[in-house]
Amino acid sequence: MNSKLNAIGIFDSGLGGLTAVREIQKIMPNEDIVYFGDTGRVPYGSKSREAINKYARQDARFLKKMGVKLIVAACGTVSSVAPDLSEELGLPYTGVVYPTCFTAAQVTKNGKIGVIGTAATINSHSYKRRIQAKHPEFEVLEQHCQLFVSFVENGLVDPDDELVQMLVRRYMAPFKESSVDTIILGCTHFPLLAEAIQREMGENVTLIDSGKETAIYTKKILDEAGLLRDDGHKGEAYYYVSDTPADFEKFAGLFLQNSPENRVEHINIEEY
């Protein structure tokens, strides 16, 4: 039997989705995971809507071919721009926007919520529209933080690093001026900068980790569909990339907070 069958499929433009992998492994340790990082075409956040839609479909089709039971678009850009692919794929499918917005709306005290993400995510206004559809009285401020992606992909996440502090200070300035009390980390890269952001904003501001909230929501979907594993199996993760595996392996541990247990394999995503 193919050990990848019955796994949770997760894709992202690069390494950021590994923060969702980490959270899923915490709350669903019995589940196998197949992860695809489109490292050859990263970042998605600066691409056109047409390109992002094409990439999302290719990524999802690859995961479906691997026999997964559910697909998670662990990418704020894809979740904001690409359509829901569940009907097209014939599989349960979720992005990160809905579960993240739900939690942010629950925790804010003053109704002022900040959203940070890639340029494509912010330009789509997906988080803002989702929140204000349910809570029109809330004020939602948006800020694209495209350089955060580059910093994280290159391992620049130390909150004591002056360059990191300078960039965080610049991006967070509008939120401080507006007294937001909740900030959505609308890109799965951004939890790695959470400590630096928290320091800048102060302890009274709540950060919402899209990877964590998506992991919780994924468990809910699987549980309601009767697809959760409860057989004592120790979950494994399998990693695939569209560029050099060595580069992925070099930084994957930073996102996972441990080294990938299995070898990283290269695939030609253009075949899908």
Amino acid in position 47: K
Q: Copy the structure tokens of residue 227.
A: 């697809």
Nearest of 92, 75, 90, 89 to residue 36 by alpha carbon? 75
Nearest of 58, 1, 4 to residue 33 by alpha carbon? 4
What residues does 8 pair with on adjacent strands? Answer: 33, 70
Rounded to whole angstroms, the Cα distance separating 134 from 74 reads: 23
75 as an active site residue: the answer is yes
Rounded to whole angstroms, the Cα distance separating 218 from 199 reads: 30
Among the residues of 48-145, which ranges form H helices?
Answer: 49-65, 76-81, 86-89, 97-107, 119-124, 126-134
101 as an active site residue: the answer is no
For residue 1, the 8-state DSSP code is: -
Burial string for 121-138 (b: 16+ CB within 10 Å, else e) reads bbbbebbbebbbeebeeb
Q: Which of 72, 164, 172, 187 is catalytic?
A: 187
Q: Which of 10, 75, 105, 192 is catalytic?
A: 75
Which active-site residues does the annotation give? 75, 187
